[in-house]
Amino acid sequence: MHAAEAAAARAFDTADLADLFDRFAGYPALLLAVSGGPDSMGLLAAAAQWRRARADGPALHVATVDHAIRPESADECKLVEAAAGRFGLPAATLVWQGSKPRAGLQREARAARYRLLLAEAKRVGAPGIVTAHTISDQAETVLMRFLRGSGPLGLKAMAEVTEREGVEIVRPFLWETGDRLKATALAAGLQPVDDPSNIDDRFTRARLRKLIAAMAGEGLDITRLATFAGRMRLLDQALGHQAAKLAEASRRPTIVPGTQVFEAQGWLAEPIAAVQMLLSQAIEQAGDSDVAERLSAIEELSAEVLIALAEGRATKTTLRGAMVAVTAEGRVIVSREPKRRTADE
């Protein structure tokens, strides 16, 4: 979209910004994640405008990540620092050090970005990191996860607030368009940069943007996809509630830290989806929460557990760094997967 077209979109006004940001007024500080692109520069302008209109509120800090992948990324980070300076906000450039993988580059870059942002948030005393994810990002995420075989746990896509290492990841613009954020940036006199990876067909999200544009003609546009994600979140919440009740009814005391023990014979009379959710939650608590879970994997594990319970036999399996053991007496034990011994041990 050309600058003149973006400017035609309505920038956020004071009332809009109060609706989006007033919930964070009591925070001591917020860290704004700004890349220099249209969406994140709009976030910078919007947050600064909101804070200026208040007599009190959190201190705003800006962080931009140099992934050191493209030669121009260092200059883009300087642009972000300069933009933050226009609003009198402190800014830090966080550099992803070390060699870069050939496969899964965007996935690894995302993981590195969050590691750096979390460390910076803790450094400046910000309990929340604000990102500029929009309704388009939500639509792309749900479609990507659908194509990878996710169930409700994945198809609920991104939440407005999630937590990592005690820090909230806040996405106030999930139901807003990138056009409005860009218009807000331009209205504040900022000149965003365009990341060429956004149109590079080597990357999944770039290909999905073209696919979504094609499907919009048939009625499956970003709003429909984002609405679908919202409905999946409601379903996920219902399953989570049912799984929590089942876990509470069947959990037994244990003195082993990080281990959960369940009297699980009663699971055979419960909906399979509730058992899958219970096991998924227990595995996430015991194992590696940074490892992505595929629906097919938890389906296979749940089936193995239920069949073993029905047949009264013992079995063990691992998933996401957790071990799930079924005893012949009908107990299910979920614990951290034992560390593998090396040849030197």
* pLDDT tens string 146-187: 877 776 666 777 889 999 999 999 999 999 999 999 999 999
Pairing between strand 91-95 and 59-66?
Answer: parallel
Confidence of residue 6 (pLDDT cuts 50, 70, 90): very low
- Residues whose CB is less than 8 angstroms from the CB of residue 314 and which lie 6 or more positions away in sequence, other chains included: 308, 325, 326, 327, 328
* pLDDT tens string 260-317: 999 999 999 999 999 999 999 999 888 876 555 577 788 899 999 999 999 999 999 9
Confidence of residue 57 (pLDDT cuts 50, 70, 90): very high
Please choose, from the candidates 25, 32, 36, the residue with its C-alpha nearest in 3D space to the C-alpha of residue 121. 32
Report pTM: 0.76
Fold topology of 3-226? Rossmann fold (3.40.50)
- Residues whose CB is less than 8 angstroms from the CB of residue 340 and which lie 6 or more positions away in sequence, other chains included: none
Q: How many Cβ atoms sit within 10 Å of the Cβ of residue 78?
A: 15
CB under 8 A, 24+ apart: contacts of 274-278: 274/239, 274/242, 274/243, 274/246, 275/243, 275/246, 275/302, 275/305, 275/306, 276/151, 276/302, 277/153, 277/239, 277/240, 277/242, 277/243, 278/243, 278/246, 278/247
Domain residue spans in the chain?
Answer: 3-226, 253-336
